[in-house]
Structure formats: structure tokens, C-alpha cells
């Protein structure tokens, strides 16, 4: 296969990965809701406290975080599909507004949650969650700022950064699975590391994609 053909296939591959991660994210939200209300058992590795204990003790902040998160997962991908954006402008604008509002709620609640319940990964996970929540909110604000000024290029770039950070929660789960299967460490030890890896990986991919697709300008 030629290099040019491989490059042409790259957007399709990334789109497939995006929808896989969205599916994981929606499944995570559904599982957490069922777990905090006792409909299904919470995962409890090696006799340690169940993962959903803290969330079950604080259902209000949990639901305030994950229900808008479901809108983030459902509406996010459609913001980046050119056919939808170009042919259904009204839908794109309305869904985009809902997406940004829901994303702000997700980001603000993520910033508050470590002060209400200590994450499984302790201070390490809390620090990662708060740092990337701040970046997520900054990226959303800059995306909103640029679209109000009709700068679609910079709006797109900051939307990609925001969506990449939010979508990282889905990539973090397989990373956690790898730690469970290969490390033998306690979740309290590796959860924070998994969060840092997932968020950082998504930001790197976002920056690579932004630079790869940035329009070429000539002086």
C-alpha cells in the first residue's frame, strides 16, 4: 500500500477509534448508574472496597458529572464529521451549543469531585484529574471565544483539544485493565498513573492531528 493511500485512510481509522471510545464511555456511564443504585454489583478487586463506594455515597455530584457526560459522548463525534457540519448547519449549531454546555458541567464537576470524595488513586489521580479538568475548561472557553468571532480554524483546533481530553476517560479504562493484568499492583498505586497516561496520550494525538490537518498558509 502506498504512503499516500495510508494517509487517506487515516481519518477513517481515527473516526472508528473515536466511536469505539464513545461506546466505551457510554457503557461506563450506564454501568456506574446501575452500580451506585445497587442494580449490579460494584467491582471489588482482591477484597478491597468496591470501586463505586465513593460514588454511591455522593450520588448527586456523581450524576451531575456523568449525565452531562453522556451528552458529551453522544453529541461530540457529530461535531467533527464534515458531512453533518456542512449539510445540517442548524443541527450542528444547536447540538454544538448543547455539547459545550454539557461539557462545562462535566469539567466543573470533575474539578470539584476530588474535594468531595478522594479518588481511588489518591492524590496522584486527584492532581491529574484537576489539571486536565482545568485544561478542558480552558479549551472549551477558547473554542467558544473563537467561534463567536467566526474564527473557525482556531475554534476547530480548541474543540479537538477539549474533545480529546474528555474522551481520554474511555482510554484510561483499558490502561487500567492492563495494569490489573500485568502489574500485580494495588489500584491505589496505579490508578493515578493510568489517568496521567491516558490524558497525556490523548493530548499528544490531538496535537499531532491538529498540525497534520492545519491549513497551509503562505507568506
Whether the full predicted model's pTM is greater than 0.85, yes or no, is yes
Average pLDDT rounded to a whole number, residues 169-192: 90
| Range 144-172 burial, b when 16+ CB lie within 10 A, else e | bebbeeeeeeebbbbbbbbbbbbbbbbbb
Per-residue pLDDT band for 8 (boundaries 50, 70, 90) equals: very low
Q: What is the mean pLDDT of the chain?
A: 88
Convert the pLDDT of each residue in 100-119 to its tens digit: 999 999 999 999 999 999 88
Report the alpha-carbon distance of residue 55 to residue 73 in Å, rounded: 20
Q: How many angstroms separate the Cα of 179 from the Cα of each of 119, 166, 195, 201?
A: 17, 21, 12, 16
Inform me whether the pLDDT recorded for 122 exceeds 70: yes
Cβ contact 26:70 at 8 Å: yes
Per-residue pLDDT band for 9 (boundaries 50, 70, 90) equals: low
Inform me whether the pLDDT recorded for 7 exceeds 70: no
Cβ contact 84:91 at 8 Å: yes
Report CA Rg, the chain: 18
All structural domains of the chain with their residue ranges: 3-213
122 Rama sector, left if φ>0, alpha if ψ -120 to 50, beta otherwise: left
Amino acid at each position: 500500500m502506498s504512503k499516500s493511500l495510508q494517509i487517506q485512510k487515516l481519518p477513517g481509522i481515527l473516526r472508528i477509534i473515536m466511536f469505539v471510545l464513545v461506546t466505551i464511555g457510554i457503557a461506563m456511564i450506564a454501568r456506574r448508574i446501575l452500580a451506585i443504585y445497587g442494580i449490579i454489583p460494584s467491582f471489588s478487586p482482591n477484597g478491597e472496597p468496591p470501586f463505586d463506594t465513593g460514588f454511591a455515597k455522593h450520588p448527586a455530584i456523581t450524576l451531575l458529572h456523568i449525565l452531562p457526560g453522556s451528552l458529551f459522548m453522544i453529541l461530540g463525534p457529530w461535531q467533527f464529521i464534515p458531512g453533518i457540519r456542512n449539510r445540517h448547519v442548524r443541527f450542528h449549531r444547536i447540538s454544538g451549543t448543547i455539547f459545550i454546555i454539557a461539557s462545562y458541567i462535566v469539567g466543573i464537576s470533575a474539578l470539584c469531585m476530588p474535594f468531595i470524595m478522594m479518588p481511588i488513586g489518591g492524590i496522584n489521580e486527584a492532581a491529574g484529574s484537576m489539571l486536565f479538568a482545568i485544561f478542558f475548561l480552558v479549551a472549551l472557553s477558547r473554542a467558544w471565544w473563537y467561534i463567536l468571532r467566526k474564527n473557525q480554524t482556531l475554534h476547530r483546533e480548541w474543540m479537538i483539544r477539549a474533545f480529546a481530553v474528555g474522551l481520554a476517560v474511555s482510554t484510561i479504562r483499558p490502561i487500567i485493565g492492563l495494569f490489573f493484568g500485568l502489574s500485580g499492583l494495588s489500584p491505589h498505586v496505579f490508578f493515578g498513573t493510568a489517568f496521567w497516561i491516558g490524558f497525556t496520550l490523548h493530548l499528544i494525538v490531538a496535537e499531532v492531528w491538529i498540525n497534520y490537518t492545519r491549513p497551509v498558509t503562505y507568506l
